[in-house]
Structure 1
Amino acid sequence: MTQAFVGLGSNINEPAYQLRQACMALISLPNTCLIAVSSVYESSPMGPSDQPPFLNACAQIDTTSDPAALLTALLKIETTMGRVRRRHWGERCIDLDLLFFGNTSVQTERLTLPHPGLYQRDFVLKPLADLLGNEYLMPNGVDIGTLLGKCSTHSLRLSAVQLDLGEIPGTPL
């Protein structure tokens, strides 16, 4: 069983609904158990400014899948939910990023772990801090709180959105 973290983001087509649906899809993944989901944060777009703000969260999962299989499953969820890649860092109904996967390092054309933007993005680090605490040492050996202190701000704020997943049904693997 490997602990992994998935970043969730959405800024179109009812973003709160999209995040809920993505969490429900994570619950349904084979060989995977959704452990926890962070609070939801709102942030200004990192890319083009002519798009709505994003809602972001992180999910903690346990899985027996390997990183490549998990990435394939996440991309399938995005496709099923209607994600269309129109422009780099553009609007999207859902974005699911595999942030890190245990202590695994991967560098392939298809997958880089830990995620290359992980250490610079407050909209990823703050939800991770909700799940792990500011003192948690990230795969690069630096704690989340220190990394957050080095982030340039993207107008990150706690959202009033509650994902209302109820009791997360931990399913046996």
Structure 2
Amino acid sequence: MNTSNNWIEAYIGLGSNLDNPVEQVRSAARELAASADIEKQALSPLYTSHPVGPQDQPDYVNAVMRILTRLAPLELLKQCQHIENQHGRVRLVRWGARTLDLDILLYGDQRITLPDLVIPHPELTRRAFVLYPLADIAPANLSIAGQGSLASLLTACPAEGLHRIVP
């Protein structure tokens, strides 16, 4: 556990393209928020996007969740992986179809490079399905450690193939 017991703002990317993806994402958001060490701040609207990698799979449903957490980064990763496993996540093919994918996008303003975890998420700046939902819930002046402002990243990443789901 985070020994200082300070709450840290973090952003989690959520995605699914199997077994009712909309419900997979919404259920995962509820499960994250149910942890005693995580407090939900906001959940972005849901978006559909084309898959990255193999194209012989369904489109994805994506969202971003802003949380406050007392969990250290690796503990938060373990919590995310536990929820993925509860949803039947199987890791067979890189960028393959999946019931649930939870990625820690940002953890405060920290830059972390560990064998199992890199923050900011290394693909964050190139993924419209992450940047646009992030922009829906993040402060307008959000800066991504080592990458620049969210506003400049959005300008460099067109929203082609990204569609907001109307609730």
* TM-score, with structure 1 as normaliser: 0.88
Q: Check if 1:95 corresponds to 2:101.
A: yes
Q: Check if 1:138 corresponds to 2:136.
A: no
- Choose which of 11, 18, 22 in structure 2 pairs with 1:12: 18
Q: What per-residue deviation string (whole Å, max 9, x for no partner) do you get for residues 129-160 of structure 1?
A: 00015542222252212112212555111112
Matches within 5 A, 1:84-163: 84-140=90-146, 142-151=148-157, 153-160=159-166, 162=167
Q: What per-residue deviation string (whole Å, max 9, x for no partner) do you get for residues 38-84 of structure 1?
A: 01111000111111100100000001110010000000000011111
Is 2:120–2:144's contact at 8 Å kept on the other side of the alignment?
Answer: no
Q: What per-residue deviation string (whole Å, max 9, x for no partner) do you get for residues 97-149 of structure 1?
A: 00010011111111111111111111000001000155422222522121122
- Choose which of 18, 31, 39 in structure 1 pairs with 2:37: 31
Give the letter aligned to residue 101 of structure 1.
Answer: Y
- Identity across aligned pairs (percent)? 37
CA distance in 2 between partners of 1:55 and 1:115 (Å):
19
Q: Secondary structure at the match of 2:146?
A: coil
Aligned CA RMSD, in angstroms, stands at: 1.4
Is 2:62–2:129's contact at 8 Å kept on the other side of the alignment?
Answer: yes
Is 1:46–1:154's contact at 8 Å kept on the other side of the alignment?
Answer: no
Unaligned residue ranges in structure 1 (runs of 5+): 163-173
Aligned to 2:78: 72
Q: Secondary structure at the match of 2:19?
A: coil
**Structure with more of its chain in strand, by fraction:** 2
Unaligned residue ranges in structure 2 (runs of 5+): 1-6
Q: How many residues align?
A: 161
* TM-score, with structure 2 as normaliser: 0.91
Is 2:89–2:100's contact at 8 Å kept on the other side of the alignment?
Answer: yes
